[in-house]
Every structure is written in structure tokens, then in C-alpha cells.
């Protein structure tokens, strides 16, 4: 059975908390914490200790995950090295890459290639690792995309997204002049009743969705805005800005008046707590040439 082992040397300022409390702090899921304990797959300084044991500075904590700890223990994306992956940040567990315009995040069928996950799979094969999807960006959206390199950080990163400890910042050009300097949009998003490609405000099975926006500048009849997401619903930014009368420039789904080809939406930065540490990293993605600094 395939396994993954991670050894952490605790820092000099390590608080005197229990192994259990440390695992909770690291966002290790409860079920996996139970597996660690029952199967003695967590070692402290090379020996198994009860999870009530208090930790000290420079202790070594070793965790071993097995395939049956995960719903999807392995990924099966076809490797595709036809495009070079632009890596903005990486460590042993995950990376942030710069997604290109017009490239899908992931395949929709088993034999499909040409997506960011295929490019990541080819890149990670050289490290004897695999690509695991954490979140997605629409095909026309550019910028920072988080990809896991090992399965054990996927639930941790997903929990950070749910807890909003991962902060995502976007830039977008929208139609019209925004009178206020900032605002918050709180409109539930659900399925569209007749078109599976679309989503709808207060649609079927609607879920809570919250978007914060801030005006950067207005040029002619368009406004550049900075957006931060509290939730990550499909098409959230596109739907929310259209709902307040300022659809995204180039949005062929929710802006029927646009005369610009290609969505002007960029994932500008992610601020992410580094798993198994107290470090928080801000990772920016440079603006692509397709995203103008001014617009007519």
C-alpha cells in the first residue's frame, strides 16, 4: 500500500500543547487523527506517544498517511508538457502556479489533456509526485492557482478555504462607474434551471456567497475593481458584479452588452498559511498582457 511520510521539526517557540492539539492546529482531519492514533502512525522523536503528550521545542513529529486515509489517494491526470508551467511558489507539499488565459483548470473527461492539471502533472512527474486539485479558476480567468503535490494537504487546504484563512484577491474590469468606493455583495448563488453551464442568483440549491469589492480607478465608462472572496461559488464574481449592474468586461455569459473578447478577471494574489508551520505567505501573480491597465 502506498504511503506518504512527513517529518516536522518543531520551532524554538513551540508552545507546550498536546500532540492532539497540534494536529488540530495543523488542520489534520479528525478521521485521520483517529487513524494516526489507532494505528500508531504518528511518532514523537521516533517513538509512539499518546496524543495527550505535551510537545517541546525542537521535537520531531513524524506522520504517515496511507491510501485508505483518502477518498482520492492518487491523481490520474494525463501528463502534458506542451506548455511550460509558470510556478510562482512551491514547497514539498503544494505549489501556486500562474494560470494562463483560455486554459481550463482541469479535464472534464478521463483522456483529456491541455489543462493546468495536465501541465502540473508533467511538471511534478520529475519530482515523483502527482497533481491534486484544490480549487479552480474559470477558463478565461488568469493568475494564481493552488495545486497540491501530495494528497494529505488537500483536506487541509480545503478547510483553510472554508475557514477563509486563505485569502484570495482578484482584479477585474467592470462596466460602468461605481459611485461608492467599496461594498459587500451578499447574494446566494445556485444552479440555473435550464442551463448547466450557468449559475443564478437565488437559483436552485442556492448557497451563501459573499464578495467584497473596492474601486481602484475609473477610465471612461469602465471601472477597475479589487475583489476579495469570503466564499468560492462557481462564477461568484461574475454573477455578483452583474447583479449590482456592473458586469465584467468580456464576460460572454453574464454581460450581453460586452464588445470585448475575453474575460478581464485576474487572480492577483493568494495569502495562505503554510501547512505544518506558523508562516503565512503572500503570493502574487503578475498581470498578463491580456489584462489592460487602462481600457476604453
Give yes or no: residues 192 and 248 share one domain.
Answer: yes
In a domain, 247, yes or no: yes
Q: Are residues 154 and 208 in the same domain?
A: no
pLDDT tens track for 185-233 = 999 999 999 998 889 999 999 999 999 999 999 998 999 999 999 888 9
Rounded CA separation 251/241 (Å): 11
Residue 293 lies in a domain: no
Query: Do the strands 60-66 and 3-9 form a parallel or antiparallel pair, or are they unpaired?
Result: antiparallel
Tell me, what's the pLDDT at 243? 96
What is the DSSP secondary-structure string of 137-174?
--TT-EEEEEEESSGGGHHHHHHHHHHT-SEEEEEEEE
**Together in a domain, 152 and 226:** no
Q: Based on the domain organization, do 145 and 201 belong to the same domain?
A: no
The three-class DSSP label of residue 89 is strand
Would you say residue 285 lies in a domain? no
pLDDT of amino acid 38:
95
CA distance 168 to 225: 14
pLDDT of residue 74: 80
pLDDT digits (tens, 9 = 90+) for 42-58: 999 999 999 999 999 99
Residue 139 lies in a domain: yes
Q: Is the residue at 42 inside a domain? A: yes
- Stretch among 74-78, 100-104, 237-241, 264-268 having the lowest mean pLDDT: 74-78
The active-site residue, picked from 69, 80, 138, 175, is 138
**For residues 13 and 57, what is the distance between their CA atoms, to the nearest angstrom?**
6
What average pLDDT does range 116-122 have in this prediction? 97
As a whole-number percent, the residues of the chain with pLDDT over 70 amount to 100
Rounded to an integer, the average pLDDT of 48-71 is 95
Yes or no: say if 157 and 166 are a contact pair by the CB < 8 Å rule: yes
Last residue of a domain, one of 163, 193, 218: 163
The 8-class DSSP code of residue 69 comes to: G
* 96: CATH: 3.30.2350.10
Q: Do residues 80 and 150 both lie within one domain?
A: yes
- 8 Å CB contact between 229 and 236: yes
**Residue 26's CATH number:** 3.10.290.10
The residue with greater pLDDT, 172 or 259, is 172
Strand pairing of 94-99 and 199-201? unpaired
Last residue of a domain, one of 144, 163, 182: 163
Q: How many domains does the chain have?
A: 3
Last residue of a domain, one of 69, 91, 107: 69
Residue 45 belongs to domain spanning: 3-69
Q: How many CA atoms lie within 13 A of 266 on its CB side?
A: 20
51 closest CA partner among 226, 139, 41: 41
Q: Half-sphere exposure (CA, 13 Å, Cβ side) for 216?
A: 13
Determine, yes or no, domain membership for 92. yes
- Residue 56 included in any domain: yes
If asked whether residues 120 and 187 sit together in one domain, one would say no
138 included as an active-site residue: yes
Whole-number Å distance between alpha carbons of 217 and 294: 9
Say if residue 8's pLDDT is above 90.
Answer: yes
78, 136: one domain: yes
Say whether pLDDT at 259 is over 80.
Answer: no
Q: Does residue 39 fall inside a structural domain?
A: yes
What's the pLDDT at 109?
Answer: 85
Q: What pTM, to 2 d.p., does this model score?
A: 0.92
Amino acid at each position: 500500500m502506498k504511503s506518504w511520510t512527513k517529518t516536522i521539526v518543531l520551532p524554538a517557540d513551540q508552545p507546550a500543547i498536546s500532540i492532539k492539539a497540534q494536529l488540530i492546529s495543523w488542520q489534520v482531519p479528525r478521521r485521520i487523527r483517529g487513524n494516526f492514533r489507532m494505528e500508531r502512525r504518528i511518532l514523537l522523536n521516533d517513538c509512539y506517544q499518546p496524543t495527550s503528550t505535551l510537545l517541546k521545542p525542537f521535537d520531531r513529529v513524524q506522520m504517515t498517511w496511507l491510501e485508505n486515509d483518502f477518498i482520492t489517494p492518487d491523481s490520474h491526470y494525463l501528463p502534458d508538457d506542451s506548455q511550460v508551467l509558470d510556478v510562482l511558489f512551491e514547497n514539498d507539499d503544494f505549489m501556486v502556479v500562474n494560470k494562463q488565459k483560455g486554459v481550463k483548470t482541469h479535464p472534464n473527461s478521463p483522456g483529456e489533456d491541455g489543462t493546468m492539471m495536465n501541465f502540473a502533472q508533467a511538471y511534478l512527474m520529475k519530482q515523483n509526485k502527482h497533481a491534486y486539485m484544490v480549487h479552480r479558476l474559470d477558463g478565461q480567468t488568469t493568475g494564481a492557482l493552488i495545486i497540491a503535490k501530495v494528497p494529505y494537504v488537500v483536506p487541509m487546504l480545503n478547510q483553510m478555504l472554508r475557514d477563509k484563512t486563505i485569502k484570495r484577491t482578484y482584479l477585474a474590469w467592470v462596466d460602468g462607474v461605481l459611485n461608492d468606493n467599496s461594498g459587500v455583495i451578499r447574494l446566494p448563488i445556485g444552479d440555473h434551471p435550464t442551463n448547466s453551464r450557468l449559475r443564478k442568483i437565488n437559483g436552485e440549491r442556492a448557497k451563501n456567497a459573499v464578495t467584497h469589492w473596492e474601486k481602484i480607478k475609473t477610465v471612461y465608462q469602465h471601472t477597475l475593481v479589487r475583489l476579495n472572496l469570503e466564499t468560492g461559488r462557481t462564477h461568484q464574481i461574475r454573477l455578483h458584479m452583474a447583479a449590482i449592474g456592473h458586469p465584467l468586461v468580456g464576460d460572454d455569459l453574464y454581460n450581453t452588452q460586452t464588445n470585448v473578447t475575453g474575460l478581464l478577471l485576474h487572480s492577483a494574489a493568494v495569502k495562505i498559511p503554510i501547512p505544518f508551520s506558523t508562516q503565512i505567505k503572500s503570493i502574487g501573480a503578475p498581470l498578463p498582457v491580456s489584462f489592460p491597465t487602462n481600457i476604453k
